A and B are shown apart, each in its own frame.
Chain A
Amino acid sequence: MDIVDILLSASFWAAAVRIASPLIFATMGELICERAGILNLGIEGIMVIGAFAGWMTVYMGFGLWSGVCVAMASGMLFGLLHGTLTVPFGLSQHVVGLGITLLATSSAYYIYRLALPAVSSPPRIVPFKPFEIPVLSQIPIFGQAIFNQTPLTYLAFGVVVITAFVLYRTPLGLALRSAGDNPAAVEAQGLSVTALRMGAVIVGSGLMAVGGAFLTMSAFDSFFFEMVNGRGWICIALVVFGAWRPGKALLGALLFAAFDALQIRLQQTELGALVPYQVFLMIPYVLSILALILMSRRAEVPAALMIPYNRGER
């Protein structure tokens, strides 16, 4: 199969949108945190706990949407812990974030092993089914790619619209962005930087967890170890690539996912027979680093990112 054939097939673009969906949730989550001034390195672990909590809920007999809610709640819980340590107490966002990733990941694995001590192959659930949107899904290629996805994918696009609207069209969004750029100015207006940042970290972490849940409840149908596999770190790179803007970050996620879908398909071509498969698997990580280098010069980093805010300190 030729690259042109691949790029013109609807199934390729459908796969790209599917691969992008968990990244979109988690990238929006990280973007909200960073826009308020908090780097959330808990993202990788929070995606794991979301993937596990959502799947486990459905496995225990509850509905799929209950699973999404439980996943979100589990993420918010770890977000609350992250926020408490980094916002009012101003602890190192690097160390706390990595600690949260370790804690969330090992908690998920521990509970999984407790609940299912002796399973050799991971049990399955009935995941979200694709929901075809009439008429729109008949548009060649792009309609077929975008409008025949599971409800969680539609939700991911909805989250981008809501995030962009709230950040740029509401007083809350203005306050959030100021908390990440000039927290003293926010405090001067009588708003609480602590509350804004805490809220951003909690909501953002909830979204990351839904991104994780997408993996177990929509992309696949079971939970296995190492399934998040660095997607969280890639989302941090996507936030930088998207210059901290929801629309650009969405484009970045889609572009990235297209490359990922392409490398999977290229593995099956004559090229794939010549080149070791590990080279293809490296592409997403290499692309993320290249994206960081490319965008780092031009990016408008939130001015107070990673700087704890102490009231009364100038």
Chain B
Amino acid sequence: MRLEPVANPSIARSLGFPAAALLLSVVVASGLVLLAGANPFATLGLILKGAVGSKFAALETLNRATPLIFTGLAVAVAFRAKLWNIGAEAQFYIGALMTVVFGTSALGLPGPQPLVVMGFAAIVGGAVMLLGPVILKTRFGVDEVVTTLLLNFIVLLFISLLLEGPLKDPMGMGWPKSPRLDPDARLPRIVTGLRLHWGFALALICAGAVWVIEKRTTLGYEIRAVGQNPRAARFAGIPVNFVLVKTALLSGGLAALAGFSEVAGLKGSLTLDLSPGFGYTGIIVAMLALLHPVGVVVSAIFVAGIFVGADSMSRAANVPTYIADILLATALLLMVFAILLTRYRIVKG
């Protein structure tokens, strides 16, 4: 067996294989639904209905998609430079932490200025969070996969420590949660009465900004060059390590904005279960989007829909909600395989 490059892949090839991958992952999940003794079509229908079946459901999906757009962008930017940031979960929590610290301290600033301060603090926190592993990578050659993964555990314990200590809400009745944000430190809703906050709009703006950076700036070009071939990039005079540092600041900042948006837009306070794995799910979002910033928006909404739909489905049918995770993990694996097939042909011999 050998892989032979396809010189000019047709549109049918470029779209057909990824579509088939998504379809096949639904087939695999359907098999597991059968195992649960439920009807796959009915289950799929319930998932769809739970995701987009009503105005409430659709808004819930967009709300769930918001942090995923941020973490998806964070992963996409980093993976483009082959910087394996698996620490978006930690950066998310640091962003949320900074938001709470600055959002409960009664800054007394007029208008939207407290929000600007909080958002900026979150970005700095998240960026610094990823800076550490990147410096270890560039200075000592320490693999960033393991360091960013281990930092997720350390940061979560650190947050737990703060929530049971200095950051504990005195009104929380013993529950480990932070005090609520000041009223002027909340992201307002886009339309009064509808449960969708400005974090979603901010996520779309960030996606646009990342698209511009990648397509129109020198940094975008450098990120791609470093990702494709660091040795060649260095030979061409690109300061590889400095590009990696800039990528890390961008990626960590984006992941932290997810934490900012969840606290300031939705929850109003910090708890240990603020993220049901948004950082890790961001990897799926980014890969399904083929690392394209605009694709990230689409795939985040798709992934959020699956999760929201599966939650509502599992309440109605006897299928555990983990079916959503299986479906997405299968889709991720089949998608990387499908992308290979769009560019290579498998030949015998």
B336 touches A99 (CB 8 A): yes
Interface string of B15-36 (1 = CB under 8 A from A): 0000000000000000010011
A237 touches B161 (CB 8 A): no
A296 touches B287 (CB 8 A): no
A296 touches which one: B36, B142, B161, B164 (CB < 8 A)?
Answer: B142
8 A Cβ contacts from B123-169 to A: 136, 140-143, 145-147, 149-154, 157-158, 160-161, 164-165
A281 touches B32 (CB 8 A): no
B142 touches A98 (CB 8 A): no
Known: A98-B86, A109-B320. A292 touches B146 (CB 8 A): yes
Cα–Cα distance between A109 and B146 once the two chains are bound (Å): 24
Interface-facing stretch out of B47-55, B99-107, B327-335: B327-335
Answer yes or no: B232 CB below 8 A from chain A CBs.
no
A297 touches which one: B3, B141, B287, B328 (CB < 8 A)?
Answer: B141
Answer yes or no: B325 CB below 8 A from chain A CBs.
yes
**Which residues does chain B contribute within 8 Å of A310, judged by CB atoms?**
2-3
With both chains docked as a complex, state the minimum distance between the C-beta of B311 and any C-beta of chain A, in angstroms.
14
Cα–Cα distance between A279 and B158 once the two chains are bound (Å): 8
**Which residues does chain A contribute within 8 Å of B147, judged by CB atoms?**
289, 292
Answer yes or no: A311 CB below 8 A from chain B CBs.
yes
With both chains docked as a complex, state the minimum distance between the C-beta of A114 and any C-beta of chain B, in angstroms.
5
Interface string of A271-282 (1 = CB under 8 A from B): 000001011011
Cα–Cα distance between A103 and B284 once the two chains are bound (Å): 12
B145 touches which one: A94, A109, A279, A286 (CB < 8 A)?
Answer: A94
B336 touches which one: A92, A114, A233 (CB < 8 A)?
Answer: A92
**Closest chain A residue to B132 by CB distance?**
A289
Known: A114-B320, A285-B154. A276 touches B164 (CB 8 A): yes
Interface-facing stretch out of A83-91, A124-132, A150-158: A83-91
Cα–Cα distance between A276 and B150 once the two chains are bound (Å): 20
Cα–Cα distance between A90 and B160 once the two chains are bound (Å): 40
**Closest chain B residue to A288 by CB distance?**
B150
B150 touches which one: A95, A234, A297 (CB < 8 A)?
Answer: A234
Using C-beta atoms within 8 Å of the partner chain, give the interface range for chain B: 35 or more
8 A Cβ contacts from A221-242 to B: 229-230, 233-234, 236-237, 240
Cα–Cα distance between A161 and B56 once the two chains are bound (Å): 60
**Which residues does chain A contribute within 8 Å of B211, judged by CB atoms?**
none
Answer yes or no: A66 CB below 8 A from chain B CBs.
no
A288 touches which one: B146, B284, B330, B337 (CB < 8 A)?
Answer: B146
Answer yes or no: A209 CB below 8 A from chain B CBs.
no
> Beyond A114-B35, A282-B154: 8 further Cβ-contacts under 8 Å?
A94-B84, A98-B283, A99-B329, A99-B332, A102-B328, A230-B153, A289-B147, A289-B151
**9 nearest A-B pairs in the assembled complex, by CB-CB distance:** A106-B325, A113-B320, A103-B329, A102-B329, A278-B161, A110-B322, A278-B157, A99-B333, A99-B332
Sample of 28 A–B contacts (CB below 8 Å): A41-B145, A91-B336, A91-B337, A91-B340, A95-B287, A98-B86, A98-B280, A98-B283, A100-B333, A102-B280, A103-B329, A110-B322, A110-B326, A114-B35, A114-B320, A229-B153, A230-B150, A230-B152, A237-B150, A240-B143, A240-B146, A278-B158, A282-B153, A282-B154, A285-B150, A292-B136, A292-B142, A292-B146
